[in-house]
Amino acid sequence: MKLYFSPGACSLSPHIVLLEAGLAFTTEAVDLRKKVTASGADFSAINPKGYVPALETGQGVLLTEGPAIVQYLADLAPEKNLAPAAGTPERYVLVEWLNFISTELHKNFAPLFRPNAGADLVNYAHSNLALRLGYVERKLDGRDYLTGSQFTVADAYLFTVLNWAGVLKFDLSSFPLVQAFHKRVSERPMVRQAMRDEGLLK
């Protein structure tokens, strides 16, 4: 398998999951502005959507959406318990979290990366993020991870998105359980390895 990534982008989530699952894989960095990979390939020809993550499965299939990729990877290593078994109620709780992170957190951070974002858009994004993180804060009460005591692919995704708060100067101090979650996940050996591999840690 081959993961196309950009350091610190949402592709960090499947990068973490690949390591947590103990799967064999290679990576290639992508310059998202130029749409060129580290080897000089046209990334738009690889993934016409033009963004990461993109995973070549080795079976002739390219997966290009993070929530789909991490579930695929979890199902390749069921013994690691990174996702509940397909068809169980617990699996759909996980899917619910992945969708929430994607649509309510990831997409609300996105405007803050735009240097030309107006004050109204920035304030709107901040307001939405505060509301949604308040929900996450309440759900983490009494839990180490989103679904309980077991680390799952949803936690890898949430960790990745929360990393952006520091870069964008979004204050998480109103959410102490979210902050504790972020620190807890950051200390996992495979999480640290993924971040080192992407040049995010020395």
CATH number, domain of 37, equals: 3.40.30.10
> What does each C-alpha distance from 33 to 40, 47, 72, 162 come to in angstroms?
13, 14, 28, 23
Helices in 55-152 by DSSP H: which ranges? Answer: 66-76, 89-100, 107-109, 119-139
The string of pLDDT tens digits covering residues 170-193 is 999 999 999 999 999 999 999 999
The string of pLDDT tens digits covering residues 128-182 is 999 999 999 999 999 999 999 999 999 999 999 999 999 998 999 999 999 999 9
pLDDT band at residue 202 under the 50/70/90 scheme: confident
Q: Quick check: is 158 in a domain?
A: yes
User: Do 162 and 76 belong to one domain?
Assistant: no
Q: According to the model, what pLDDT value does residue 116 have?
A: 87
Residue 56: which domain range?
A: 2-80+192-197
Quote the number of domains for the chain.
2
CATH number, domain of 179, equals: 1.20.1050.10
Give the CA angle between residues 57, 39, 77 to the nearest 5°: 25
Q: Quick check: is 110 in a domain?
A: yes
Query: Is the overall model pTM greater than 0.95, yes or no?
Result: yes
Q: Quick check: is 202 in a domain?
A: no
pLDDT band at residue 10 under the 50/70/90 scheme: very high
